[in-house]
Structure 1
């Protein structure tokens, strides 16, 4: 099955049903299939405007949001391809600044699926989605493309892009182990180095590779790949840096300093993601992006379900008035650390409502948040195999209880003054929450 996409438009839904029926042969890796499909479609990936290509374990979507905001603040029209979607499949493709229309989406998916079937190409859900996005972007004039890697980098379908303008790698950590740590005689064996090796697979000759500063030998793995393809690495702390100021943060590189307000996106880690986006923009030569646009992007960037404060809606109405309710789709240890840092600084006790897929580590969020948890309620992730309540029992956290839905969980919570609610553990769960609370991403 694919990503359980649904649509209110019957023409789109007919194509999403075809998408969901696709499967990937066990163990298939590589770019041969997506290249064969794109060749049938006239190789649209070769007719894109300047491409900003972003990989990473955490933060790559937020980095893309900052890139888009800065480019649009500079007056550029921007295509964006990200994944997964939260409520509507259309969220994956922003064509010249606007979410793709149902009419265009239905036509593109049908065209790609028909070509794949006619040629007997066993493309996956993501490969078809990527090909459809590249078709849309090649046919619609724009000034830039912001492309988020789906999974990994080296073998990700987006990695058919041959001449990106600049590439970036966000925060790295262990996730998607079944795919990214699968046996490969050409890849490093140490898990952290292997992850860096896979993400660095997006590096291309002549396109600066902008990164954070990593450890466990990860920097060296990225340097080796950059040397192999013939490009330079622009690394945080060595080549660019950020630091706090009284009113926000400062970005510095060899081009000078820039003082910025804190991002509107919640969480201290968002300043790092913003810094990565700024470094990518300042180390490319395809488009002009003035400093004023970088400053404006701090307030313009939006990225739903990443430490999002939910507004008034049917779900939040189930809580006592004034109770802060946060939503986050993070599901790995690095996401747990970012959540813990955000809430530790604000010092509230948290009523955690969590749903997590069965292939994720239940301690990823519970362990870092344990000392702040007032209650833990475990809910299912509809349509997915997920952990039961017993998986979330942690020695330093309250005993987890089960509830049939997020709505039922919120009805049962009795927060004291100053306490908050956090719904977390899965982007699939987050999408359902946004739908139920009438907060559809636009």
Structure 2
């Protein structure tokens, strides 16, 4: 399935239409296509500012947001590459702090697609090459680059000499790709996930990790040793404890840092990983004061986001609407923990792509939901609403279906939660006129 994108700018849309016509990998593994495309463009990945490269199942986007906010609080100019976009393709490429403009994006995509028409590159490979080309041409002090899928074979893994690599929390997701048979990879599911994510490790570049189950930690340690990457594991080489503040320690010293403004207890862990990545590398210096400012300033849309008053929230009695794009069991457990702290049950509106584990996602949420309305995701291969409603019913969640999001929301009582898909989240943000900036 391709990451369809639309733009109000006709020049950008013309290039997005060309992107949609590109090949879909369909089981193709490896970096040959992105390597060939970058070579046609003059190998821009070798000329980027210092790179902070981060993988993970959940939390890598939030950790990337914390990294950018901390670097910018220190006065640094920062490029950022993230995926997927929520509302506009431009969100994927941030140049020196600003989303790429439509004018620049149209020219950039045209150049990259023209250069690699016969390479067989995919949507994401072209997007990655475009970001790297823009990063190589625009002065900045650092690049924050988020892995799209996995790590070992992700197009972003063409980063050659990162300042530091990080791995956020790990869990089972994208099993069709990440657990595909491979005799060179570990058999244990979590070890395999860790093996794929730690494929971003590079010789001499610090690899900073969270806590994981032993099988995952062993796989990461083996990858780091094999490639020659200095490994810094949480609980061994650094640690953080969150209470009234974040108490952080590593080989340098200890820091007391504020709790994030981003909601959810898990965000302290994501912020701590970003702090560790900054402190355990030597390419870019950031003060402790800037780290504290960045933790407070970081924003990351569609993650436990209470929507502002707008056209979409007007449908809901009371106007209280929580939006979360998490879509796997680990994300659901984080969401359930947050809902437990609200002290009241919520009604859910849910949609999920058809390659996601609906039962695994809904099971942790069941005790906190008064009801669920299942909806489709227009333009995407998703679970039929009838299937989601059936799964919810089997979990003793009163469930119904609706043909559209507007229909699902009309007359609903708040608090209401919209969940299950980043694509659904993007639809909601557009409808509520809350475009990420």
Whether TM exceeds 0.5 here: the answer is yes
* Cα offsets for 1:187-221 (capped at 9, x unmatched): 11111110000000000011100000111411010
2-side partners of 1:393 and 1:299: how far apart? 37
Which residue pairs with 1:409 in the alignment? Answer: 408
Shift of 1:288: 1.4
Q: 1:328 maps to which residue?
A: 324
29 and 396 in structure 1: CA distance in 2 versus 1, 3 angstrom threshold: closer
Which runs of 5 or more structure 2 residues have no equivalent in the other structure? none
Contact map agreement 1:389 1:400 (CA 8 A) in 2: no
Moved more, 390-399 or 163-172: 390-399
Q: How many residues align?
A: 434
1:239 aligns to what?
237
Partners in 2 of 1:336 and 1:100 — Cα distance?
32
2:421 corresponding residue in structure 1: 426
**Superposition pairs of residues 296-375 of structure 1, within 5 angstroms:** 296-321=293-318, 323-375=319-371
Q: After the TM superposition, which of the residue ranges 17-26 and 69-78 deviates more from structure 2?
A: 17-26
Structure 1 residue 145: deviation in Å? 0.3
Counterparts of 1:18-417 in structure 2, within 5 Å, are 18-117=18-117, 120-246=118-244, 248-321=245-318, 323-387=319-383, 388-391=385-388, 392-415=391-414
The two structures, once aligned, show a CA RMSD in angstroms of 1.1
* Aligned counterpart, 2:433: 438
CA contact (8 A) 2:317 2:412 kept: no
Cα distance between partner residues in 1 of 2:208 and 2:320: 36
How far did residue 366 of structure 1 move? 1.5
Unmatched runs of 5 consecutive residues or more in structure 1: none
Say whether the 8 Å CA contact 2:59–2:270 is kept in structure 1: yes
Deviation, structure 1 residue 346: 2.1
- Find the residue that maps to 1:238 and give its secondary structure: coil
Deviation string, structure 1 residues 269-323 (Cα, Å, up to 9, x no partner): 11000000000000011111000001001121111101111001001011123x4
- Quick check: 2:242–2:268 contact (8 Å CA) kept in 1? no
Per-residue Cα deviation, 1:123-170 (whole angstroms, up to 9, x for no partner): 000000000000100000000000000000000001011110000000
Q: Could you state the TM-score of these two structures normalised by the residue count of structure 2?
A: 0.97
Measured in 1, the distance between the counterparts of 2:60 and 2:213 equals 18
What is the CA deviation profile of residues 303-349 of structure 1, one whole-angstrom value per residue up to 9, with x for unaligned ones?
Answer: 1101111001001011123x421101111000000001111122221
Would the aligned equivalents of 2:351 and 2:375 in 1 still touch at CA under 8 Å?
Answer: yes
Q: CA deviation at 1:389?
A: 3.0
- Which 10-residue stretch deviates more, 354-363 or 64-73? 354-363
Displacement of 1:264: 1.0
> For residues 407 and 197 of structure 2, what CA distance do their matches in structure 1 show?
40
Q: Distance in 2 between matches of 1:338 and 1:245?
A: 17
Describe the SS at the equivalent of 1:250: strand
State the distance in 2 between where 1:97 and 1:414 align: 38
Check conservation: 1:242, 1:275, Cα contact below 8 A: yes
When residues 390 and 29 of structure 1 are mapped into structure 2, their CA distance, relative to the original with a 3 A threshold, is closer
- For residue 397 of structure 1, report the CA deviation from its aligned partner: 3.2
Distance 1:212 1:356 in 2: 28
Aligned partner of residue 393 in structure 1, secondary structure: helix
Using the size of structure 1 for normalisation, the TM-score is: 0.96
CA offset digits 1:337-374 (Å, max 9, x no partner): 00011111222211000011111111233211111111
The CA deviation at 1:258 is 1.3
User: Is the Cα–Cα contact under 8 Å of residues 56 and 197 in structure 2 kept in the other structure?
Assistant: yes
State whether residues 50 and 141 of structure 2, in contact with CA within 8 Å, keep that contact through their aligned partners in structure 1.
Answer: yes
CA distance in 2, matches of 1:85, 1:422: 21
* Post-superposition offset of 1:257: 1.5
Which deviates more from structure 2 when the two are superposed, residues 231-240 or residues 158-167?
231-240
Counterpart Cα distance in 1 of 2:73 and 2:11: 34
In the alignment, the residues of structure 2 paired with residue 351 and residue 429 of structure 1 have an alpha-carbon distance, to the nearest angstrom, of: 16
Following superposition, the deviation at residue 25 of structure 1 comes to: 4.2
Q: Distance in 1 between matches of 2:313 and 2:342?
A: 21
